[in-house]
Every structure is written in C-alpha cells, then in structure tokens.
C-alpha cells in the first residue's frame, strides 16, 4: 500500500443489517467511496471530520450494505427455481440500499464531511467569482 493510510469513516461494527454480513472489501469500498465524495467537495484530509457525522456514517453503512448485497444476489437458496429472482432477499436488499444511498447523497454537502470552521470557499462549487464589466 505504499504507507498510505485510508480514512476510516465506518467499521464492521457499524453494520446494523441483521441479514448482511459485511466483508472487509465492503467496508474498504465504503470508506474509499466516502473519501472520494469528501474530496469531490474540495476538502483536504485535514478538513475532513473523523469520526464522521451521523449522516456520513449512515451513507457509509448503506454503501457497504449495497456492495455486500450486490455480491450475494443469486445466492438466496430460499427462492423458488422458477426463473424469477424477485423474491431473492439479496436483490431486495440491494434495491433498498441503492435507493438509500441515492437519497442520502442528495442531502449531502461539504459541511457534512468538514470539521467545524472549514471555509466555504471552493467547497462543492461554493465560492465567490468576482465579475466586472469592461
């Protein structure tokens, strides 16, 4: 890994789903996803609040659940073999968490990731552009 430390927004202990069991890769993906989102808002590592706010933690858990469920689709042995996977619990979980991720992302802005006192300038398209007429 070259000595680069990943930011830990969530851990396996944050899983509250009673069916899905996160793999290390689900947690790592969710943490990388959240870091990518935070940096897309223009935040530096020093400006990112850890431990994260509840909304960020919820998003991370939903991302990990979505990834875990996606990996498990088709493995539900309780589904009848009639060619329909509509009753597959993992497919249902995937659809639920896909929707949850979209909903949570739509509510986020840089302030959800940032430590208190972080300046707005240049964060997530927020800033001042000085215009003048010639």
- Residue 76 falls inside a structural domain: yes
- Residue 25 falls inside a structural domain: yes
- Residue 132 falls inside a structural domain: no
Which residues span the domain enclosing 108? 12-113
- pTM of the full predicted structure? 0.83
- Residue 1 falls inside a structural domain: no
- Residue 17 falls inside a structural domain: yes
> What is the pLDDT, as a whole number, of residue 74?
83
For every residue of 35-95, DSSP letters joined together read HHHHHHTT--GGGB-SSPPHHHHHHHHHHHHHHHHHHHTT--TTS-SSS--TT-HHHHHHH
- Residue 86 falls inside a structural domain: yes
> What is the pLDDT, as a whole number, of residue 80?
62
Question: 37 falls in which pLDDT band (50, 70, 90)?
Answer: very high
Is 9 in contact with 57 (CB distance < 8 Å)? yes
Question: 128 falls in which pLDDT band (50, 70, 90)?
Answer: very low
- Residue 71 falls inside a structural domain: yes
Average pLDDT value for residue range 77-102: 82
Place of tokens 């069916």: 19
- Residue 130 falls inside a structural domain: no
CA 99: distance to chain centroid? 12
Question: 120 falls in which pLDDT band (50, 70, 90)?
Answer: confident
Query: What is the domain count for the chain?
Result: 1
> What is the pLDDT, as a whole number, of residue 133?
60
């Amino acid at each position: 890994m070259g000595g680069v430390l990943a930011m830990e927004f969530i851990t396996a202990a944050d899983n509250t789903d009673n069916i899905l069991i996160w793999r290390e890769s689900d947690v790592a993906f969710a943490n990388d996803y959240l870091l990518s989102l935070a940096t897309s808002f223009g935040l530096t590592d020093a400006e990112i609040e850890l431990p994260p706010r509840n909304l960020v933690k919820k998003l991370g858990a939903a991302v990990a659940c979505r990834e875990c469920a996606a990996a498990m689709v088709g493995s539900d042995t309780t589904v009848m073999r009639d060619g329909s996977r509509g009753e597959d619990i993992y497919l249902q979980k995937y659809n639920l968490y896909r929707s949850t991720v979209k909903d949570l992302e739509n509510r986020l802005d840089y302030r959800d990731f940032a430590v208190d006192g972080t300046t707005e300038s240049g964060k997530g398209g927020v800033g001042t552009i000085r215009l003048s007429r010639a």
